[in-house]
Amino acid sequence: MKQPRGRQEPRRVGNAAMVVTMVVSLCVLTYIKARYCSNPFPKAVAEVEVDEDYDSTRYKLTGPVGEEDFDPSRPTCYNTSKRSERCAAVGDIRVDGNHSRIYISPLSREWRTKPYARRHDAVAMDDVREFTLVPFGGPNDTAVPPLCTRTHSVPGFLFSSGGFAGNLYHDYADVLVPLFASTNHLGGEVQFLLADIKDWWADKFRPLFRQLSRYDVIDVNNDREVHCFPRIIIGSTFHRAMGIDPSRSPGGVTVADFKRLLRRAFRLERAVASRSGAPRRRDRPRLLIISRKSSRRFVNERAMARAAAAARFDVRIAEPDNHTDMPNFARLVNSADVMMGVHGAGLTNMVFLPSRAVLVQVVPFGGLEWLTRVTFKDPARDMDVTYMEYNVSLEESSLRDLYPEDHFYLKHPYDVHKKGWDAIKTVYLDKQNVRLNLTRFTRTLEQARDLLPTP
């Protein structure tokens, strides 16, 4: 039986338990809008190779864990993965951020580097400032370093929020998880130098930076000071998308430690999800539906909310686009036991879910398993989140209304994939909305409930 189409969803939601939390839209910032809002997964994400980016045999770092920056046998700059180049030096170090130059003595030769963990991706790297490491003080060195105007006793750590930062997925995959893995062992005794800063971005993640560093972040490009350090590290290391390999991270830290730090930073109460929900929730686990407004929309979101309430879930709907109020949004996500949404950057909010919560990724029609796997399925494991997926059938997809039944796009999605990312994005990501079959949806929720831990 066909579901009636074009039927108006009731304007008002009958269920009083449902609160629609509208988190404001990132897209208000026009710069971001131009780059990301039409494309929550910029080109390069799709080009992520399906195999792991980090090959532990090829990029084996020797030396005691946590001391990798001091290995004198290693060149100043070296690759720690296919995606990450890092430079580390000890000595007389003077950072002239305004001119993107770092004077180092001793240093055997000049180096150039971009401190953003996506080196294999030229599109992203175009938007990352390059820094030049300039030798001085040696017999053959001609550079005259500037005088220090601020001297720091702790190491400097330089990273960038250029590239694709601003898209929540990239914030965590390219910047924040690598930053955590690279600096947590310093115990707060580190001065962050942030390049390509966007003020709103730095404000949004400041509570996280405070957990990692006792000192205010320096906006290194727009600052006339010459910052001097006894030691500097430039660029985070990268293990896997939103993941950390504890056998290689200083102190053996894991993503679980990262999540603990996020909970501290944003004062999140819940460590573990529960089948009966949080206390005082009348034995109802909370379902958070991640809403999208432009593409990949749940057309029957309100009906979904009613079905979920009927299945004894405490339901919330939220659109996580503008995180000016991130602490509140983080608390909302942390209050959920099950989070469900159509593939998109908003699912990155799983970083705030309590352990053993269930993430249900709704996979749009179009053979997108590989994309949904590398972006959220694999990372969910490191996050200690139970992963489920809901494959949208053609019957549930708005594509059925756009094309005749035997259209190439509907019959041969993998052939569309051969035409490249732009084709995939246009056909299956930008123009598709979904109307979930409520019977399947309710069954999925029951399965999710069964996967939740009993209190």
Please identify the residue of the shown chain whose CB is closest to the bound ligand NAG.
24
Nearer to ligand NAG, 82 or 284 (CB): 82
Give backbone dihedrals phi and psi of 430, rounded to 5 degrees, phi first: -85, -25
What are the Cα distances from residue 101, in Å, to 78, 92, 112, 113, 144? 18, 14, 9, 11, 12
Where helices occur in 174-267 by DSSP H, the ranges are 177-183, 199-212, 255-265
Please state the closest distance from residue 27 (CB atom) to ligand NAG, in A: 9
Q: Which member of 79, 105, 132, 442 binds ligand NAG (CB under 6 A)?
A: 79
Q: Please give the structure tokens belonging to residue 361.
A: 């990724």
Out of 53, 68, 69, 85, which residue is the one contacting ligand NAG (CB under 6 A)?
85
C-alpha dihedral (300, 303, 305, 310), degrees to nearest 10: -150
Does residue 35 touch ligand NAG according to CB under 6 A?
no
Point out which span in 62-70, 147-155, 388-396, 414-422 binds ligand NAG (CB under 6 A). 388-396
Q: How far apart are CA 398 and CA 412, in angstroms?
A: 17
Site track 138-177 with ligand NAG (rule: CB under 6 A), x = hit: xxx-------------------------------------
Report the distance separating Cα 93 and Cα 258, nearest Å: 30
389 lies in the site for ligand NAG, by CB under 6 A:
yes
- For the bound state, the minimum distance from the C-beta of residue 433 to ligand NAG, rounded and expressed in Å, comes to 16
Q: Is residue 4 close enough to count as binding ligand NAG by CB under 6 A?
A: no
List binders of ligand NAG among 200-219 (CB under 6 A).
200
Site string for ligand NAG, 326-365 (x = CB under 6 A): ----------------------------------------
CB of 78 to ligand NAG, least distance (A): 5
Identified binder of ligand NAG from the candidate list 17, 18, 20, 24, rule CB under 6 A = 24
CA atoms within a 13 Å half-sphere pointing along the CA-CB vector of 131: 33
Residue 75's Cβ-side half-sphere holds a number of Cα atoms within 13 Å equal to 11
Tokens of 139: 């017999």
Which residue number, 219 or 245, has a Cβ lying nearer to ligand NAG?
219
Please give the C-alpha separations between residue 246 and each of 172, 212, 235, 238, in angstroms, as whole numbers. Answer: 17, 18, 19, 12
Position 28 contacts ligand NAG (CB under 6 A): yes
Residue number, 38 or 222, with CB nearest to ligand NAG: 222
440 binds ligand NAG (CB under 6 A): yes
Nearer to ligand NAG, 315 or 360 (CB): 360
Q: Rounded distance, CA 258 to CA 268, Å?
A: 13
Q: Is 57 exposed, middle or buried (0-12, 13-18, 19+ CB in 10 A)?
A: exposed
Q: Which of 105, 254, 294, 324 binds ligand NAG (CB under 6 A)?
A: 324
- Shortest distance (Å) from residue 223 CB to ligand NAG: 7
Structural tokens at position 418: 């051969």
Q: What is the DSSP letter of 213?
A: B
By the rule CB under 6 A, 418 interacts with ligand NAG: no
Asked if 90 touches ligand NAG (CB under 6 A), the answer is no
* 136 interacts with ligand NAG by CB under 6 A: no
Inter-residue contact 226 to 150 (CB < 8 Å): yes
Tokens 């399925």 label which residue? 377
Count CA atoms within 13 Å of residue 391 on its CB side. 9
- Name the residue type at position 143: A
Question: Which residues contact ligand NAG by CB under 6 A?
Answer: 1, 3, 24-25, 28-29, 77-79, 85, 98-99, 138-140, 200, 221-222, 224, 322, 324, 369, 389, 391, 395, 437, 439-440
